[in-house]
Structure 1
Amino acid sequence: MAATPAPQSLDAYSPERIADRLRIQDLVYRWCRAVDRLDKQGMLDIFWPGAIDSHGPYIGPAEGLVDWILVRHQPIATSSHFVGNLLIEFASEDVALVETYVRTIQQYPPEAKQQLAQLTGGSAGDEGTAMDMFTSSRYLDRVERRNGEWRVARRDLVQDWKQIQDVKYKALQPREGWIIGKRDGSDQTQMARRELGLEATK
């Protein structure tokens, strides 16, 4: 569907547009938190129902993407998504194109070789060895406002670079009292949000 050209009078930095920019940025930040915490509803809330995501091995509706992630990430103990450059261009009052640079770090145990091979095109490292995967990619999102709410209507994952390395030494050896990230719904951030009544806040 072709977007209506942006009106010449559209001020990309009016107070209303700045508020829109912050709401759109929050979509990207919320996605990173949701996928790293394996928060199903949090991931679904980023997309409009039926939105299409082209995510490398998975291409299809966002609902299927979320189910695919939940299965593929099950054996992955650690996942971190970092976003950098985030450029928002308004095509109209209610449509924007958003390009976000994203880096990921994920650790794959030996039993997750099949999941790792899906993302690398076949490479999975040495047999029986845990692997760290580092990526540099971009989210290219068509974001639409419907009924006053911004969500992603289409996402293309543009893959620029990947690298995998053997995990020779497990550097994190937690001591008593250390807070360790979790992906089972009991992460410290999730518990703090529940405590403050923020769980349903978008």
Structure 2
Amino acid sequence: MSKIEQFSPERIADRMLIQHLMARWCHAVDRLDAPGMLACFVPGCIDSHGPYIGPVEGLVGWILERHQKIHFSSHFIGNMLVDFVDEDTAIVETYVRTNQQYPPEAKAAIAQFTGGASGAEDCYVDVFTSSRYMDRIIRIDGEWKIAERRLIQDWKRLDEVKVQALAPKEGWILGKRDGNDESQVMRREFGLE
């Protein structure tokens, strides 16, 4: 373990900032917000993300292309183990669960992400994953950013969707991935985005 004090008031504040960074990443991916995704990383850093390994700029392009047909994506972060190497560097392991729904025409995107499996040809498929982000996070000009990411994949599950359960009624607010999700609209209303 590092000799730096792991739970001083300064480190506790840094832990909260790192947790916020991870939440911002998940929000940006689920909203297909390319500038938001890129803002979480040091430019040019390498992400080893299973089928994609390379600079983060390419990762964002890969996500935008792969997610074109995905109508729903939700990343949930859980356990987060933060170990400070020094005042400006932390090694962070974050558990992440994803739920995504793929329409029948998106089988190639599923197969790319699973290594081959894609579900029945004629139905929607819900994809559930359990993974961990293994990140080196550094502080640059007072802001924490991901400097290196390794996605550790623990399991994936495909569920063929027999019935689409959501049947929205007039006035219901539905999630969007086009820059006009209610979370983005409200932030803009209050000058936060």
TM-score band w.r.t. shorter chain:
over 0.9
For residues 21-62 of structure 1, the C-alpha deviation after alignment (integer angstroms, 9 at most, x for no partner) is 111111100001000000000000000001110000000000
In the alignment, which residue of structure 1 is the partner of 2:68?
74
Match for residue 13 of structure 1 among 7, 26, 34: 7
Q: TM-score, normalised by structure 2?
A: 0.98
Q: CA deviation at 1:173?
A: 0.4
In the alignment, which residue of structure 2 is the partner of 1:183?
177
In the alignment, which residue of structure 2 is the partner of 1:32?
26
Residues in 2 aligned to 1:43 and 1:123: alpha-carbon distance in whole angstroms: 27
Letter in 2 for 1:13: F
Match for residue 89 of structure 1 among 83, 100, 112: 83
Letter in 1 for 2:190: L
Residues in 2 aligned to 1:160 and 1:53: alpha-carbon distance in whole angstroms: 17
Q: CA deviation at 1:128?
A: 1.6
| Stretches (4+) displaced over 6 A | none
Residues in 2 aligned to 1:78 and 1:148: alpha-carbon distance in whole angstroms: 34
Residues in 1 aligned to 2:121 and 2:109: alpha-carbon distance in whole angstroms: 14
Q: CA deviation at 1:15?
A: 1.0
Match for residue 113 of structure 1 among 73, 95, 107: 107
In the alignment, which residue of structure 2 is the partner of 1:156?
150
Letter in 1 for 2:157: Q
SS in 2 for 1:35: helix
RMSD, matched Cα = 0.9
1:129 equivalent in alignment to 2:129: no
Letter in 2 for 1:116: I
Q: CA deviation at 1:92?
A: 1.1
Match for residue 102 of structure 1 among 96, 107, 110: 96
Residues in 1 aligned to 2:147 and 2:46: alpha-carbon distance in whole angstroms: 7
